């Protein structure tokens, strides 16, 4: 077994350098810091796999820390969903923590800052403060409140905390540099007044710390060695470091922030704000709609944790903007399911086929292999009889040589069954074919070992016995957007690119009877069609399958060319 050498991504290289420069291996510690204001998506999966992957690789703890500093947006529902998703992916956090756990410590440090003359209370309006902020190309101007006395600042901040001021009336600001080329350094806000009930601290606090003030200090409290975030936080790093300077003891570990590019997927959007919009405006049926790029949506769609982890691995980590082809994600799930999903037969667009020389009333139970890719998968019995359904698309009265399926006067093999020959058709008044009449070769049964069964027949069709078939609902999903990067258009709203045909519901599909026992979440390959899973809406009375992803369809390509 030769261990294939994997190159390190740039973050692993940074860690290796730190280790080489004397950082003790047992000091390594990571964190995944979601804000509980939405559901996790495939982009977060990249971060989860990265951080927890690092934890596994270096045998280091990884904390799950909810960044819950804004009670206006955050909810327990999201906390629960996030935990469920991470667990489903198979990762284990060392500690479940909340930024709100540190509100008191953060407050104490803020007092220290005021005492050092590094923070002041500003009672201007938010628009006044914004106006003084300047622009990226112009320096800002100092607030008239910038030189308040320490005593007055302490007193005002105390009143803010005690709820003596209305929301929005006062903020606590760090005193840094209004002329800094980095906008984040222009006296950033540390605290704002919010009269909101917090999902964990209730009504204890009237003031809430801002992200920048909270995040780095939380990392420090937890002694996170490498605080990994996405690229848009790069310019926050200077402030992250400045805040750390104010509280760092000089003795313990000092966290460092490093940034990587967020993972984008083609034909979808990845911002929580936009996903929330899709949910709230009814473009999809909830956060776990199988068309959503959320972890819960992918789970319901039939994706496995393994496939998502594989995708994250193979997509890699870098610092460039990217739009990863969704085909890569689809490859990962097909690759997994090909090895693991039992093969079954289902007909989605049925047409009746009668085998005229097969005895009426007779049924035969034929041996069917469960998975040719897995020797241990075993086999099952499927019922065969005189009348079966096949796919409408699998029959043509006439067709050229490239059409390997059933046509009048020609033979085709029924998977796991017999070779049949199309003799005639019956049509309704509209010319629509209602029945295909065939004859079968009784000696050609699959696996019987006869000369006849070994005949080379180009086409093989899947089918279900009408008398035994189970009716089912099948939901076919397509990409949610018709554009590769729907939110990359400056002049157009991403919703203009919504694919109106992203969901097709088939309510008269027929599946083989073995599927009656299928449970929610079970995954199958419907032979020649694709991978499907049992949806959460499914019941014994009404089986519902989601198409996870279709099989590669070479025939569709050949047809398209003509």
CB of 37 to RNA, least distance (A): 7
CA–chain centroid gap for 15, Å, is: 27
Q: Among 200, 272, 310, 410, which one carries the catalytic annotation?
A: 272
Look up residue 205 and give its two tokens.
């606090």
521 binds RNA per the rule CB under 7 A: no
Closest CA to 186 of 222, 217, 146: 146
CB of 345 to RNA, least distance (A): 9
* Contact letters for RNA, residues 446-485 (x by CB under 7 A): xx-----x--xx-xx-x-----------------------
Helix/strand/coil percentages in the chain, nearest 5: 35, 25, 40
195 binds RNA per the rule CB under 7 A: no
The residue with tokens 């007055």 is: 152
What does the alpha-carbon distance between residue 345 and residue 550 come to, in Å, rounded to a whole number?
Answer: 14
Nearer to RNA, 301 or 445 (CB): 445
272 marked among binding-site residues: yes
18 marked among binding-site residues: no
Q: What distances in angstroms separate CA 89 from CA 40, 244, 356, 401, one per listed residue?
A: 11, 33, 52, 47
- Residues 232, 496, 504, 507: which binds RNA (CB under 7 A)? 232
Cβ contact 366:445 at 8 Å: yes
Whether 396 sits among the annotated catalytic residues: the reply is: no
439 binds RNA per the rule CB under 7 A: no
Look up residue 534 and give its two tokens.
């049992």
CB of 536 to RNA, least distance (A): 26
Of 326-355, binders to RNA (CB under 7 A) are: 327-328, 330-331, 334-335, 338, 343
CB of 1 to RNA, least distance (A): 17
Q: Among 133, 196, 262, 396, which one carries the catalytic annotation?
A: 262
* Window contacting RNA (CB under 7 A); options: 246-254, 287-295, 505-513, 525-533: 525-533
251 binds RNA per the rule CB under 7 A: no
Handedness of CA 529, 530, 534, 536 (dihedral sign): negative
- Residues 416, 465, 502, 548: which binds RNA (CB under 7 A)? 416
Of 81-100, binders to RNA (CB under 7 A) are: none
Whether 148 sits among the annotated catalytic residues: the reply is: no
Closest CA to 323 of 488, 550, 136, 151: 488
Exposure letters 29-42 (e unless 16+ CB within 10 A, then b)? bbbbbbbbbbbbbb
Cβ contact 167:194 at 8 Å: yes
Whether 73 sits among the annotated catalytic residues: the reply is: no
Task: Give the DSSP H or E segment for 80.
Answer: helix 76-89
Nearer to RNA, 124 or 385 (CB): 124
- Residues 130, 179, 443, 520: which binds RNA (CB under 7 A)? 130
What are the catalytic residues?
35, 262, 272
Annotated binding site for L-glutamine, which residues?
67, 211
Which residue numbers belong to the known binding site for ATP? 35-37, 230, 270-272
């Amino acid at each position: 077994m030769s261990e294939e050498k994997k190159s390190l991504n740039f973050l692993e290289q940074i860690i290796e350098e730190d280790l080489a420069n004397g950082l003790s291996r047992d000091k390594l510690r990571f964190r995944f810091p979601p804000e509980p204001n939405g559901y996790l998506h495939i982009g977060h999966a990249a971060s989860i796999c990265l951080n927890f992957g690092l934890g596994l690789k270096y045998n280091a703890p990884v904390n799950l820390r909810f960044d819950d500093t804004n009670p206006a947006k955050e909810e327990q529902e999201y906390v629960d969903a996030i935990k469920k998703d991470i667990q489903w992916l198979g990762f284990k956090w060392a500690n479940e923590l909340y930024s709100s756990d540190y509100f008191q410590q953060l407050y104490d440090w803020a007092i220290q800052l005021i005492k050092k003359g590094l923070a002041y209370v500003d009672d201007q309006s938010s628009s006044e403060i914004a106006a003084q902020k300047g622009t990226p190309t112009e320096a800002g101007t100092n607030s008239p409140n910038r030189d308040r006395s320490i005593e007055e600042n302490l007193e005002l901040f105390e009143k803010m905390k005690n709820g003596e001021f209305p929301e929005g009336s006062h903020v606590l600001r760090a005193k840094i540099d209004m002329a800094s080329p980095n906008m984040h350094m222009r006296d950033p806000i540390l605290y704002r007044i919010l009269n909101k009930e917090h999902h964990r601290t209730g009504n204890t606090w009237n003031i809430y710390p801002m992200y920048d003030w909270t995040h780095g200090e939380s990392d420090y409290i937890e002694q996170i060695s490498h605080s990994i975030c996405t690229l848009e936080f790069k310019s926050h790093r200077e402030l992250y470091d400045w805040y750390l300077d104010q509280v760092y003891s000089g003795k313990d570990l000092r966290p460092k922030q490093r940034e990587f590019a967020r993972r984008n997927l083609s034909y979808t959007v990845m911002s929580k704000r936009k996903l929330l919009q899709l949910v709230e405006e009814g473009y999809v049926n909830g956060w776990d709609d199988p068309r959503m790029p959320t972890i819960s949506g992918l789970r319901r769609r039939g994706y496995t944790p393994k496939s998502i982890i594989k995708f994250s691995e193979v997509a890699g980590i870098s610092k460039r903007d990217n739009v990863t082809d969704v085909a890569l994600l689809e490859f990962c799930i097909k690759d997994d399911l090909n090895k693991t999903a039992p093969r079954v037969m289902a007909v989605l667009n049925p047409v009746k086929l009668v085998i005229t020389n097969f005895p009426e009333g007779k049924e035969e139970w034929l041996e069917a292999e469960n998975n040719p890719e897995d020797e241990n998968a075993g086999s099952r019995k499927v019922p065969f009889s005189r009348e079966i359904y096949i796919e409408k698309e699998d029959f043509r009265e006439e067709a050229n040589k490239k059409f390997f399926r059933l046509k009048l006067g020609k033979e085709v093999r029924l998977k796991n069954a017999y070779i049949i020959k199309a003799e005639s058709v019956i049509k309704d008044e509209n010319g629509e074919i209602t029945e295909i009449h065939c004859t079968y070769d009784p000696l050609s049964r699959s696996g019987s070992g006869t000369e006849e069964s070994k005949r080379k027949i180009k086409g093989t069709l899947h089918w279900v016995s009408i008398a035994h078939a189970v009716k089912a609902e099948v939901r076919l999903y397509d990409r949610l957007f018709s554009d590769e990067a729907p939110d990359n258009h400056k002049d157009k709203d991403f919703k203009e690119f919504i694919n109106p045909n992203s969901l097709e519901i088939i309510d008269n599909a027929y599946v083989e009877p073995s599927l009656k026992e299928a449970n929610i979440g079970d995954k199958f390959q419907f032979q020649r069609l694709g991978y499907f899973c049992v949806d959460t809406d499914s019941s014994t009375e009404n089986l519902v399958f989601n198409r996870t992803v279709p099989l590669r369809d070479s025939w569709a390509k050949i047809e398209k060319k003509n």
